[in-house]
Amino acid sequence: MKVTPSNSFQNFPKSSTTTQRNTMTSKKSVLSVGLQPQLINFADPAYAAFPGMTAEKVQGGLDKDIAALNALGYDAKLCLTDFGETAEDVIRLTLQKTRYDCVVIGAGVRTIGKNFLLFEKVLNVVHEHAPQARICFNTGPFDTAQAVQRWCPVA
């Protein structure tokens, strides 16, 4: 059989990795990292900047933002963690499974003073395991899509 550009690879089976990467390149992938809302004590004075917020409202906002990103043409996923006991491992495993074009680090991780060390850990895990990803920040559970669009526009 004569090898031509059109048939040179037809006899080689596609690996699942190749198939996964081809699928992933059709949409920009986004990982939104934040705290599990059920673990947050909204009565804590540290969360006073978010008056009236509840776990249900936060989860609802996060779910709506992910749905909005997917509707805009992204492949968006949530990665919710605890306050540090397993956060690094959860994020690391998630980043090792999929290549992300953009990682959002949520306001609950970043803007609450007592979560400073967690923010450092999250940022370093993302930097190490997704160096290609744009990193962006939301201001709360309702503006993630805008944060992503600033740094990772859909082509």
24 has a pLDDT exceeding 80: no
Phi/psi at 136 (5° precision): -140, 165
Partners of residue 80 on adjacent β-strands = 34
Within 10 angstroms of residue 136's Cβ, the number of other Cβ atoms is 19
Dist CA 145 CA 65 (whole Å): 6
pLDDT in tens, 102-113: 999 999 999 999
pLDDT in tens, 25-58: 579 999 999 999 999 999 999 988 788 899 999 9
Annotated domain spans of the chain: 27-151
The overall pTM is greater than 0.85: no
15 has a pLDDT exceeding 60: no
For residue 28 the two structure tokens come to 């920009």
- Architecture in CATH of 27-151: 3-Layer(aba) Sandwich (3.40)
20 has a pLDDT exceeding 60: no
Contacts of 90 (CB under 8 A, 6+ apart): 79, 81, 82
